[in-house]
Structure 1
Amino acid sequence: MKTDNNIISDDTLTVAQLAISHPGALSVFTRYNIDYCCGGHRTLTEACHRIGLDPEKIREEIYSQQTDSPDQSFRPERWSSSLLVDFIIQNHHTYVKRAIPELEALLDKVCHRHGDESIELLNIRERFLDLAEDLTSHMEKEELVLFPAIKRLEANKAEDNPLAITIQPPIAAMEHEHTAAGDLVKQIRVLSDNYTPPEYACPTFRITYQKLQEFSNDLFKHIHLENNILFERYKHVTAL
C-alpha cells in the first residue's frame, strides 16, 4: 500500500484527487490560489506551472499538513450522496444566501466613498453583482431539480435508473455554471490585488475585501464538494 507521502508524490493524480485524499491540502491550495475545483482535472505539476509555482515546494507544504490538522477528519467522499447534499445546502448554500446581501451593501458603501479614486472597486462590484445573480439562480436549480433527483437515484437505483441518463445534462449544466462563477471570482481576485486593500482604505473598505476573500474561499470548497465528489459519482452512470 502506498504511504501518504508516496500518494502526494504521484504526479498522475489530479489536484482534485489530492484535495479528496488529503483534506489538509485544501489550505495549501487556497493559500497559493491553486484551483482545485473547476481546474481540479490538472496534475499538481501542471497546476503549479500555470501560475509560476514550484510543485515540489507545494508538495512539501502538503506533507506538513498530514499531522493532526482538523481537516483530516473531514472526509465527505465517504458520506452518502443524500448526506452530502444536505451538508452543501445547510452550510454552503445558506452561507451564500446570507453573504450576498451583506457584501452587496458593503460594496455599495465603499463604492460610494471610494469609487471616484478606484475604478477597480467599481469593476469588482459589477463582477460581484453578476456572480450573485448567477449563484442565486444556480442554487435554486440545484435545490429544486438536481439534488432531489440525486437523492431519488441513490434511494432507489433499480426503479429510478432512467434518472441516471436524464441527470447527465443537469450535471453538465451545473459544472458549466461553476466554471463561469469561478472565472468571476478569479477576476475579482485580480482586480483586488488578491484582496489587498490600498493604503488609504478605510475600515469598511478593508472589511469588504476580507469578506470577499472569505466568500471566494467558501465558494471553491463548495464547488469542490459538488464537482469532484457528488457529481463525479453520477457523471458516467448509464441506465440498465
Structure 2
Amino acid sequence: MITKERHVADVVTDIPKSADIFRKYGIDFCCGGDVSIEHATSNNKNVDLETLLSQLNSITQTDHTGNIDIKYLSAPSLMQYIQSRYHETLREEFKNLTPYVTKLAKVHGPNHSYLLELKDLYTKLKQTLLQHIEDEDQHSFPKLIKASSGNYTDNLSETIMSLIDDHEEAGQLLKEIRSITNNYQPPLEACGTWRLVYQRLEKLEHDTHEHVHLENHVLFKKYQHLL
C-alpha cells in the first residue's frame, strides 16, 4: 500500500511505472523527489491527493526493465546499465535530433522568435548532458567503482554533489523547454519537422528524468555509508 507519507522518489524506485503517473501531474520525481507524496501535491492544483494515491495503488507492480530489478543491482552493474541504456542512446539522439532543431529555427524562427530561444535552450541542454555523461564515463564512474571495491576517495562526496548539480541544471533547462513549447504542443500550422522536434524533445525529457532518478535515488544512495 502506497501512503501519502511515502517519498516520491522511493515509490518510483520500487515501482518504475509510477513515474508515468507522477509525470502526468507534473510531479518531480528526479531532483525534487525526496519529499512525501503529500508534500508534492500540497501546492499542486492539478491533482487530488486521494485520486493520486488510488492511481498509484492500482499499478501492477512490474518493472519496465524486464527481469532486471534495478534497485538490487550492484553499484558497478548499475553504472554499466546506465551507460548502456542512457549514455549511448543520448549521444545518438543528440546527433540525430540536432539537424532538425537547427532546421526548425532557421525556417520558422524569423516568424516565431521563441523557436530561436528553443534552439539556444536545446544547445545548452545538449552541452550540459554530453559533458556530464563524458565526465561520468571517464572520471566519476571509475572513481565510484573504485570506492565500491574499498578504495575510498576523500572527495567522493564532492564528486557526487557535482553530478547532482549537473542534474539540477539539466532539469531546469528541460522545464524551460517544456514551457516554451507549450508542453510540447505544436501550433495548428506546424509542419512535420516542427511536430517531430516536439515529439523527440518530449521523449528526451522522459528518458532524462528516468536517467537522473536512477543516479540520484538509486546509485548515489549506495554510497551514503561512505560520505
Q: Which TM-score tier does this pair reach, normalised by the shorter chain?
A: over 0.9
More divergent stretch after superposition (46-55 vs 185-194):
46-55
Name the CA distance, whole Å, in 2 between partners of 1:187 and 1:210.
Answer: 16
Given that 1:24 and 1:62 are in contact with CA atoms closer than 8 Å, whether structure 2 keeps it comes out as no
Given that 1:23 and 1:75 are in contact with CA atoms closer than 8 Å, whether structure 2 keeps it comes out as no
Mapped pair 1:205 → 2:194: yes
What is the DSSP-based 3-state SS (H/G/I as helix, E as strand, rest coil) of the residue aligned with 2:121? helix
Name the CA distance, whole Å, in 1 between partners of 2:11 and 2:168.
Answer: 20
Name the CA distance, whole Å, in 2 between partners of 1:145 and 1:71.
Answer: 27
Name the CA distance, whole Å, in 2 between partners of 1:220 and 1:69.
Answer: 16
Matched with 1:216 is 205
Name the CA distance, whole Å, in 2 between partners of 1:191 and 1:219.
Answer: 18
Matched with 1:166 is 155
Given that 1:23 and 1:74 are in contact with CA atoms closer than 8 Å, whether structure 2 keeps it comes out as no
Given that 1:111 and 1:121 are in contact with CA atoms closer than 8 Å, whether structure 2 keeps it comes out as yes
Matched with 1:103 is 97
Mapped pair 1:194 → 2:191: no
Shift of 1:101: 2.3
2:160 maps to amino acid: I
Matched with 1:39 is 32
Name the CA distance, whole Å, in 2 between partners of 1:32 and 1:73.
Answer: 28
Q: Deviations over 1:85-119 (max 9, x none)?
A: 00111110111111112222111111122112222
Given that 1:24 and 1:72 are in contact with CA atoms closer than 8 Å, whether structure 2 keeps it comes out as no
Shift of 1:69: 6.9
Name the CA distance, whole Å, in 2 between partners of 1:48 and 1:60.
Answer: 14
Name the CA distance, whole Å, in 1 between partners of 2:164 and 2:181.
Answer: 26
Name the CA distance, whole Å, in 2 between partners of 1:51 and 1:179.
Answer: 21
Shift of 1:135: 1.0
Q: Deviations over 1:173-218 (max 9, x none)?
A: 1101100100000110011111001000001110110000000000
Matched with 1:114 is 108
Matched with 1:225 is 214
1:48 maps to amino acid: T
Name the CA distance, whole Å, in 2 between partners of 1:74 and 1:44.
Answer: 26
Q: Deviations over 1:34-80 (max 9, x none)?
A: 21011111211222234322222221211221266756855211101
Q: Describe how 1:137-148 pairs up with structure 2 within 5 A.
A: 137-148=131-142
Given that 2:140 and 2:159 are in contact with CA atoms closer than 8 Å, whether structure 1 keeps it comes out as yes
Cα 1:96/1:67, change in 2 over 3 Å: closer
Q: What value does the CA root-mean-square deviation take over the aligned residues?
A: 1.7
Given that 1:23 and 1:72 are in contact with CA atoms closer than 8 Å, whether structure 2 keeps it comes out as no
Q: Count matched residues.
A: 226
Name the CA distance, whole Å, in 1 between partners of 2:213 and 2:11.
Answer: 12
Percent identity between matched residues is 27
Match of 1:60 among 54, 61, 69: 54
More divergent stretch after superposition (227-236 vs 59-68):
59-68
Give the TM-score, by structure 1 length.
Answer: 0.88
Query: Any gaps of 5 or more consecutive residues in structure 2?
Result: none
